[in-house]
Amino acid sequence: MSKTHSDPQVSFLCDQNLGRLARWLRIMGFDTEYMHTWDESMIERARAAGRILLTRRRDFAADRQSIVLESDFLKDQLRFLDKHLKLSEKLLPYSRCSICNASLKCVKAQDVKNLVPEYVSATRETFVRCPHCQRIYWKGTHTDKMVEAMRRLFSTRVRS
């Protein structure tokens, strides 16, 4: 079944309590900003850009552009978001840097030859690089395992 790429991809702003969640959302390909401290001006900008504020603060429960996460556990948070936003249908792994949220750019093996282990450059043809922090990702990194873990996490909930 094909993904509905015409749907606008959801984007987020995670509050200071949701750093791990922010990282996982990026690995799954979601545009996710993170604020290290509560920052009203950052929230305003995020709202204007159509981002959903993810927060642990219950006083935001009535806010239409926010999602309050009751659980402190990453797995429960992800399942909750999947239930409401169908994240599992929108996964785009290897599209965002997990560290700085920038869109990753495709690079050729020869361009990263001296930057990745030799066995990696010898066995892979395509790589993606973060234009911001220069981190290089390739299929077979731990991202694969994380995305696989994510799919399992989502499917156990969806099918039960």
Residues of this chain that bind Zn ion (CB under 5 A) = 97, 99-100, 130, 132-133, 135
Token pair in block for residue 107: 């690079």
99 or 149, CB closer to Zn ion?
Answer: 99
Q: How far is the CB of 125 from Zn ion (least distance, A)?
A: 22
83 or 132, CB closer to Zn ion?
Answer: 132
Q: How far is the CB of 137 from Zn ion (least distance, A)?
A: 9
132 or 145, CB closer to Zn ion?
Answer: 132
User: Strand 105-108 and strand 66-68: pairing?
Assistant: unpaired
77 or 101, CB closer to Zn ion?
Answer: 101
Q: How far is the CB of 95 from Zn ion (least distance, A)?
A: 12
Query: Can you tell me the distance from the alpha carbon of 75 to that of 124, in angstroms, rounded to the nearest whole number?
Result: 31
Sign of CA dihedral 30, 21, 87, 12: negative
H-helix segments, 49-138: 74-85, 109-112, 118-123
Q: Which residues partner with 103 through β-bridges?
A: 96
Q: How far is the CB of 25 from Zn ion (least distance, A)?
A: 15
DSSP 3-state of 153: helix
